[in-house]
Structure 1
Amino acid sequence: MTTTPTLNGQVIGQAHYATRALLERALSRTDTTFNQSVVLNAVAGGVGSIDALVSRMTGALKIDEAAARATVAELTEKQLVEALPGDAVQVDLTEAGRTLQQQIQTALREITERLYGGIPAADLESAGRALTLITERANTELAN
């Protein structure tokens, strides 16, 4: 009989890295990095200010500002995001960027369906609450 492990950093990390490896595999087919996918999704979701993108990346991915700005620059060089006319601090997806972002979302939905499918909704809600609280506590400690 297999025992269910207690939720801890190791279990969370293993789930994160296994899931991320699947996403990275899908991203490699599009010549996109994980950080680039985060920016594409943020811009598609309405975050158009470069400063807001950088803030989101540094906060969520725990990377430094230079790496976040470099990611935005990479996407600009690849012509996947572009500055809005007359506003160098606001960006939007190009048509190619929109197509790529949609491909990435489709791949992510498929991964999510395979991994989370069949898990009872109550279990997912409970895990979501616990992980949100853990993230909040970690972010509080990092801010000090």
Structure 2
Amino acid sequence: MPTTTPPVNGQVIGLAHYASRALLEAVLARTGTTFNQSVTLRAVSDNGGTVERDWLVQRVAGALKITESTATETVDETTELKLLDAPTAGQVTLTESGRELFEAIQAGGREIAARLYAGIPAEDLAVAGRVLALVTERANAELADA
């Protein structure tokens, strides 16, 4: 049976997201980490390891399209698990165990990506990246206007 290339739309993008996320969820399950906690760790790590707590809540809420209260719960959980520490009022910092956990999650994610993207030409990946970034930008703009 010949395979046809489907048009790019939300369903195709969503199916790719959920399939690859299911693979990542297996990595997260082995570490006892939720997806929301992993996004929280990434946000702190990507911004130098120490961030303003309020900024982090907003960043997690915006990235995951969840309520601020759910994002606050996630930051609280991550702190209670000693993956984040609150060294000064209003800030959170990655702990050593948080950093090690995030690095393990990242390593698992890189292994998954290497398998999934193997053999896809760099030019195709660059085009896909630009298109998805534009779609994300437009969707976020619409959400901001809603």
Which range, TM-score by smaller chain? Answer: over 0.9
Aligned pairs for 1:98-113 (under 5 A) are: 98-113=99-114
Q: Tell me the equivalent position of 1:117.
A: 118
Please, which runs of 5 or more residues in structure 2 have no aligned partner? none
Q: Tell me the equivalent position of 1:71.
A: 74
| Cα shift at 1:109 | 0.6
Tell me, in whole angstroms, the C-alpha distance in 2 between the residues paired with 1:52 and 1:25: 29
Q: Tell me the equivalent position of 1:45.
A: 46
Structure-2-length-normalised TM-score: 0.93
Kindly indicate whether the alpha-carbon contact (under 8 Å) linking 2:28 and 2:105 is maintained by their aligned counterparts in 1: yes
Tell me, in whole angstroms, the C-alpha distance in 2 between the residues paired with 1:7 and 1:126: 12
| Cα shift at 1:117 | 1.7
Tell me, in whole angstroms, the C-alpha distance in 2 between the residues paired with 1:140 and 1:88: 32
Q: Tell me the equivalent position of 1:23.
A: 24
* Aligned AA (1:7): V
Tell me, in whole angstroms, the C-alpha distance in 2 between the residues paired with 1:45 and 1:135: 19
* Aligned AA (1:114): R
Q: Tell me the equivalent position of 1:81.
A: 84
SS in 2 for 1:127: helix
| Cα shift at 1:10 | 0.7
Tell me, in whole angstroms, the C-alpha distance in 1 between the residues paired with 2:44 and 2:63: 15
SS in 2 for 1:141: helix
Q: Tell me the equivalent position of 2:57.
A: 54
CA-atom RMSD in angstroms: 1.0
Runs of 4+ in structure 1 displaced over 4 angstroms? none
| Cα shift at 1:66 | 0.5
Greater CA deviation, 28-37 or 44-53?
44-53
| Cα shift at 1:97 | 0.9
* Aligned AA (1:134): V
- Quote the sequence identity (%): 61
| Cα shift at 1:3 | 1.1
* Aligned AA (2:109): L
Q: Tell me the equivalent position of 1:141.
A: 142
Tell me, in whole angstroms, the C-alpha distance in 2 between the residues paired with 1:88 and 1:115: 42
